[in-house]
Amino acid sequence: MLWYKAWLETRWRFGFLLLCSIALMALPPVIPAPQARWWIGFEMQISLLGAFAAVYMAGSGINTQTFYAATSGFHGSMYFTLSMPVSRLRLLLTRAGVGAVETAIVISVNVAESLYFHPPLGTTIQQIAVFGVRSIICSMAVYAMAVLLSCLLDEMWMFTASLIVVGFLYPLQFHNNWVGWLNPLRGMNLMTVPITAPMPWLTMASSVGIAAVLFWVSATLVRRKEF
Amino acid sequence: MSGAAIATHELLKSYRGKAALSGLTLDVPKGALCGFLGRNGAGKTTTMKLLMGMIRSDGGSLEVLGKPIRTEADAVAVRRRVAFVSEEKELYPFMTVGQTIRFTRPFFPTWRKDLEERYLKRFRLPLDKAIPKLSKGMRTQLMLLLAMARGAELLLMDEPTSGLDPAMTEDVLQELAALASAEGVTVFFSSHQLAEVEQICDRVALIDQGRLVIEGDLDDLKAQYRRILLVFNRDAPRELETLTGVDSLRMRGRTASLLVHEDVDGLVKRAQLMGSLSVEVRPVALKELFLDHVRED
């Protein structure tokens, strides 16, 4: 039933993200330009939307359900959640699991929409699918970072802090050194049209590693935290 | 300790160096309807969180329904048998009444469908109504329903009647009393409303600054404690402060007021020897017991 709760908790923000995604992708390019240029723009849009989705879907959870938050307009159901006969790890994993699946769906829809509305010349569906998969894998590092922050901060501050981190990481992905190669946002982006760049295995591996470490830290924090 | 619903021994808890509980020893027998009293910040909510395994103690021991809480697994096992109603009484705003019940039900194998239906009918809670549209009274009723229907053996309630109107307060109190007697559930609830506690509780525990001050059957306490009012023809003598067996002493001008719980006759005699013109001994109300034990002056 925790899955049921997590779905009810997140369905509106999930729906909102899908609507935003459709609205942004369906728009024709504002500035007439060669298609190759549009695609660079769309890819950036996809990666930013993916990062935004990862941050947005990681919100809520136990920490944001404080009474303090309730007085600020959020709900204060924390004690109701904590009075359930389930471990905190299970609470965290269920909520994070639902958010991760929803983030993956939003990114998949983004990629599918880009194909449908603005099919890039010379790129196969298979290449696009691979692009989608690696975007999802790399987005999990951003998602795990937002989950960790949601264990520490109220929703408003978690969201602000996460976007600051994404904003800080975004330009670093273009560095042609370890800072760029290990950057998860690099794996969610790809500046070639058609998509012919080799798979960024190193970036994907680092994203999976970062996500695993951050989830582990989140789980440790939630288990120890005194609400 | 194992026959008790709640048993704590020298329980310690502090937040950032500030003591919330300073050696709380508490014993609530099974089936009791126990009022948990104390000033704001006395440690009531901390005690309840510890009993639910939501936070960890810094020392001492505690048992809930005969089971010690040392690990998270212990806490999860205890939470299957204990219900907690927090002071805020907040539920998930993204659910309706029906969804909240459907969400809660599967966590408890001992769920009582008959009680669920009974309380839905009694409280007239609409299943399709969203939680934010419920009044605070209705939220309290829904929380009571969730607590009762789960078949809990122990009900912990942190100020269950705060924010309720008098009629709703009366309903909630009657339900608590009925539950304790009909289902044999132990009810442990904190309140600042001493009249409520006096109305339904058979037992009270009073804490101050994280320590137990009084605990026992309400009737026994009332029978035990006496107020001795003394009037002198001069200022009340300082020797009164040397009397042993006095729980609290207040002196104002020519009058003195003593709260005592043992050897009342002996104390009266000693006070008379100090020259009091009149002596009045009268029973005490719970409010007096509370105020005399927690007042700082």
Q: Give pLDDT, residue B172.
A: 82
**With contact defined as beta carbons under 8 Å apart, do B187 and B176 qualify?**
yes
Q: Give pLDDT, residue B288.
A: 80
> With bands split at pLDDT 50, 70 and 90, how would you rate the model's confidence at B10?
very high
Residue B2 pLDDT > 60: no
Residue A71 pLDDT > 80: no
Residue B177 pLDDT > 80: yes
**With contact defined as beta carbons under 8 Å apart, do A84 and B150 qualify?**
no
Q: Give pLDDT, residue A64.
A: 52
Q: Give pLDDT, residue A206.
A: 93
The mean pLDDT of B104-129, rounded to a whole number, is: 90
**Count of A-B CB contacts under 8 Å:** 72
Residue A70 pLDDT > 50: no
Answer yes or no: do A79 and B107 touch at CB < 8 A. no
The mean pLDDT of A82-93, rounded to a whole number, is: 91
Residue recorded with tokens 């309720």: B164
More confident residue, B98 or A74: B98
Interface predicted TM-score of the whole assembly (ipTM), two decimals: 0.81
Among partner residues B54, B76, B107, which is closest to A87 by beta-carbon distance? B76
Q: What is the largest CA-CA distance in chain A?
A: 59
Distance CA A95, CA B97 (A): 21
Residue of B55, B94, B146 best to disrupt the A interface, most CBs of A under 10 A? B94
The mean pLDDT of B220-229, rounded to a whole number, is: 86
Least confident of A36-40, A96-100, A158-162, B100-104: A36-40
- Using DSSP bridges, classify how beta strands B186-190 and B33-37 pair: parallel, antiparallel or unpaired: parallel
Residue A191 pLDDT > 70: no
Residue B93 pLDDT > 50: yes
Least confident of A16-25, A155-164, A193-202: A193-202
Answer yes or no: do A77 and B92 touch at CB < 8 A. yes
Residue A165 pLDDT > 90: yes
More confident residue, B122 or A142: A142
Among partner residues A1, A4, A87, which is closest to B72 by beta-carbon distance? A87
CA distances from B59 to A25, A61, B141, B156 (A): 58, 30, 36, 22
Question: How does pLDDT run across A130-154, given as a tens digit for each residue?
Answer: 888 888 999 999 999 999 998 888 8
User: Mind telling me how many Å the CA of B94 is from chain A's nearest CA?
Assistant: 6
Answer yes or no: do B76 and A86 touch at CB < 8 A. yes
| pTM above threshold 0.90 | no
User: Mind telling me how many Å the CA of A108 is from chain B's nearest CA?
Assistant: 26
Distance CA B209, CA B86 (A): 21
Strand, helix or coil at B123?
helix
Interface of B with A in 128-187 (CB under 8 A): 143
CB count within 10 Å of CB A201 equals: 10
Edge-to-edge order in the sheet of strand B33-37:
B82-85, B154-158, B186-190, B33-37, B203-208, B211-217
Q: Which residues on B lie below 8 Å from A9 (Cβ)?
A: 92, 94
More confident residue, B27 or A194: B27
The mean pLDDT of A176-204, rounded to a whole number, is: 78
Q: Give pLDDT, residue B156.
A: 93
What is the residue-wise DSSP string for B57-93?
Answer: -SEEEEEETTEE--SHHHHHHHHTTEEEE-SS----T
Answer yes or no: do B91 and A80 touch at CB < 8 A. yes
Helix (H) or strand (E) holding B8: strand B4-15
Q: What percent of chain A has pLDDT over 70?
A: 80
Averaged confidence pLDDT in chain A = 82
The mean pLDDT of A33-45, rounded to a whole number, is: 69
The mean pLDDT of B62-89, rounded to a whole number, is: 90
Residue of B14, B44, B82, B90 best to disrupt the A interface, most CBs of A under 10 A? B90
Question: Sign (positive/negative) of CA torsion A65, A70, A74, A76?
Answer: positive
Residue A173 pLDDT > 60: yes
Residue B51 pLDDT > 50: yes
Q: Give pLDDT, residue B68.
A: 92
Phi and psi based region of residue B89 (left: phi greater than 0; alpha: psi -120 to 50; beta: remaining) = left
Q: Which residues on B lie below 8 Å from A12 (Cβ)?
A: 94
Interface of A with B in 66-105 (CB under 8 A): 67, 70, 75-80, 82-88
Torsion of CA A71, B83, B28, B177, to 10 degrees: 90
Least confident of A68-77, A209-218, B159-168, B243-252: A68-77
The closest alpha carbon to B24, from B55, B48, B54, belongs to B48
Residue A32 pLDDT > 80: no
Residue A75 pLDDT > 60: no
The mean pLDDT of B35-44, rounded to a whole number, is: 90
Distance CA B167, CA B144 (A): 16
What's the half-sphere exposure (Cβ side, CA atoms, 13 Å) at B75? Answer: 21
Q: Give pLDDT, residue A37.
A: 66
Q: Chain centroid to CA A38: how far?
A: 23
Among partner residues B99, B102, B107, which is closest to A85 by beta-carbon distance? B107
Question: How does pLDDT run across B148-159, given as a tens digit for each residue?
Answer: 888 889 999 988
Residue B179 pLDDT > 80: no
Averaged confidence pLDDT in chain B = 87
Q: Give pLDDT, residue B1.
A: 43
Q: Give pLDDT, residue B188.
A: 94
What total of structural domains would you count in chain A?
1
Answer yes or no: do B107 and A1 touch at CB < 8 A. yes
Residue B48 pLDDT > 80: yes
The mean pLDDT of B135-164, rounded to a whole number, is: 86
Q: Which residues on B lie below 8 Å from A83 (Cβ)?
A: 52, 54, 79, 83-84, 86
Q: What are the start-end ranges of the H helices in chain B?
A: 44-51, 72-79, 97-104, 113-123, 136-149, 166-183, 194-200, 218-224, 264-273, 286-294
User: Mind telling me how many Å the CA of B95 is from chain A's nearest CA?
Assistant: 7
The residue range of the domain holding A8 is: 2-224
Q: What are phi and psi of B84, to 5 degrees?
A: -130, 130
Question: How does pLDDT run across A114-124, given as a tens digit for each residue?
Answer: 777 766 666 77
